[in-house]
Amino acid sequence: MKTIYNKIAVILILFLSLISCKAQQTFPLNSDYEEIPQNSYLKDLNNELTPYVGTYKTNFNGKEIMLFITKQEDKLEQSAQKNYYMDALIVKYIVKNSSGNILQDTQNDTSSKIELYSIGTKPTKNEIIFVYSGTNCHVGWGKIILKKVNVTQISWEYRPNDITTTESKCPSTLDTTIYLPETKDLIFTKQ
């Protein structure tokens, strides 16, 4: 008799677990995150991100800039309204001066202090929009737009929102130099 009650209890627990468990809902990449349910997944269903993956290089104002663009699936995005997941391009970079000395290198940075990742695409314009956290104390945070020019080149536009700071906001011992090129229509070539 005891085993029958145990089996019924196990079946009841499994049934209640299935009822209370909701599967993660998947939506196209450019869906409005405000309109999707909590913990949804914005998936790159049309492979809009893949053509941008690779290593790119340019020279600007005596500096060499290398971009390392990778695709991350199921990236957790947290906002005040909700958490959701999305496919995103992650950009790491190295900036060198004319002598070859490294000014800034985020390629192996795992601290997540400096982030540069995609937040959406404009397929009709062949563009991808990125959010940039800025350097130390978020100096230079803003938006970067990459546009596919052809199979080997992308165009860069960087629109910083805040390019200065004060001693009260950020200790003077931290480097707040913005090393990324603050410009529009800069061409990067795939390596």
Tens-digit pLDDT profile for residues 138-180: 899 999 999 999 999 999 999 998 777 777 788 888 888 899 9
Give the three-state DSSP class for 97: coil
Give the three-state DSSP class for 172: coil
Tokens 């390392």 locate to 68
Q: Is the pLDDT of residue 3 over 80?
A: no
Give the Cα separation of 108 and 111 in Å (integer). 9
User: Does the predicted model carry a pTM greater than 0.85?
Assistant: no
Instruction: Residue 154: name the closest of 54, 24, 5 by CA.
Output: 54
Mean pLDDT of the chain: 87
Percent with pLDDT over 70 in the chain: 86
Q: Is the pLDDT of residue 33 over 60?
A: yes
Given this model, what pLDDT does residue 112 score? 61
Give the Cα separation of 47 and 130 in Å (integer). 17
Q: With 0-12 CB in 10 A as exposed, 13-18 as middle and 19+ as buried, what is 121?
A: buried
Both structure tokens of 76: 């957790």
Q: What's the farthest any 2 CA atoms get from each other in the chain? A: 83
For residue 57, list its beta bridge partners.
66, 189
Q: Is the pLDDT of residue 56 over 50?
A: yes
For residue 146, list its beta bridge partners.
128, 156
Q: What is the mean pLDDT of the segment spanning 50-78?
A: 96
Give the Cα separation of 24 and 84 in Å (integer). 10
Instruction: Residue 92: name the closest of 63, 61, 113, 119 by CA.
Output: 113
What residues contact residue 14 under an 8 Å CB cut-off, 6+ apart?
none
**Per-range mean pLDDT, top range of 23-37, 87-101, 169-183:** 87-101
Q: Is the pLDDT of residue 34 over 80?
A: yes
